[in-house]
A = this chain, B = another copy of it.
Amino acid sequence: MGRWTPGAAERLQAAGIELFAARGFEQVTAAEIAAAAGLTQRTFFRHFADKRELVFRGQEAFVATAVGGVLAAPAGTGPLDCVLAGVAALSLFFTDERRPWSRLRQGIIDAEPALQERERHKLAGLATEVAAALRRRGHDDPVARTAAEVGTAVLGLAFGRWVADGEDRSFDELAAVVLAELRAVVCGGPAGA
C-alpha cells in the first residue's frame, strides 16, 4: 500500500491548483498533478476521490472551526449571534496572506460548473452541521435551520466580496457589511430601499 507521505495532500493540492489555473480544470489529469507533486497517481487517489475533492481539501477543518465558533459562544447567546460567532471563527481561513491563493482557487471554481456545484454542496453541508450545533445549544428547529441558512448566506456573500479583485477589506469587515445589508433588506432600512 505504499508509505505514508508527509504533506502529500497539501503538495497535491498546491500542484493541482497551479495546473488548473494554468491550463483549465478539465485539461489536467490526476496523473499529471501527482507527477508535478513528485508523487504517484496511486497516492493521489489515496488522498482524493477525484479532482474536484482536491479543490475542496480542508473542508473538515473548515466545518469543525465554524462549529467550534458556534459552540464556544457564551451561554444565553441568541441563535443569530451564535452563527455569526461561527462565521467569525472562519476568518482564520481568510487572512490577507491567503487572499491571493484564495483568488486563484476561486477563479478555477468560477470557471467550472462542476466545481460550483460541489462548492454549493459543501456550503450546504456546513449549514447542516451549524444547525446541528445550534440544536445542541438548545435552539430547536425551525430557528436552528433558519439561523444556519442566514449564516451561510452571510459567509457566501462576504467570501465572494473578500476574493473579488481589488477588495482589500478584511473578511471580518466584509461580514459586518453583509450582515448590515441583509438586515436592511429583511428588516427594512435605508439600504433596502
Q: Which of A130-175 contact B (CB under 8 A)?
A: 142-143, 145-147, 149-150, 153, 156-157, 161
B146-A185 in contact (CB<8A): yes
Q: Nearest chain-B residue to A186 (Cβ)? A: B186
Distance A142 CA – B157 CA, assembled complex (angstroms):
9
Complex copy number for this chain = 2
Known A117-B118, A124-B120, A153-B149: A80·B143 in contact at CB below 8 Å: no
Instruction: Name A185's contact: one of B124, B147, B178, B193 (CB within 8 Å).
Output: B147
Q: Which of A113, A143, A149, A193 has the most CB of B within 10 A?
A: A149
Interface presence of A86 (CB below 8 A): no
Q: Which residues of B contact A116 (CB under 8 A)?
A: 121, 124
Tell me if A191 counts as interface (CB < 8 A to partner B).
Answer: yes
> When chains A and B are docked, how far (Å) is the Cα of A182 from the Cα of B192?
16
Q: Which residues of B contact A75 (CB under 8 A)?
A: none
Majority secondary structure, A binding face: helix
A187 within 8 A of B: yes
User: CB-CB < 8 A to A24: which residues of B?
Assistant: none
Please name all residues of chain B whose beta carbon is closer than 8 Å to the beta carbon of A53 when the two chains form the complex.
Answer: none
Q: Is the CB of B186 within 8 A of A182?
A: yes
- Given the known A-B contacts A78-B193, A183-B186, are A149 and B142 also in contact in the complex, defined by CB atoms under 8 Å? no
Q: How far is the CA of A116 from the CA of B120 in the complex (A)?
A: 10
Q: What 1/0 flags go to A67-84 for Cβ under 8 Å of B? A: 000000000001110000
Partner of A157 from B149, B187, B191 at Cβ < 8 Å: B149
Alpha-carbon distance between A184 and B78 when the two chains are bound, in angstroms = 11
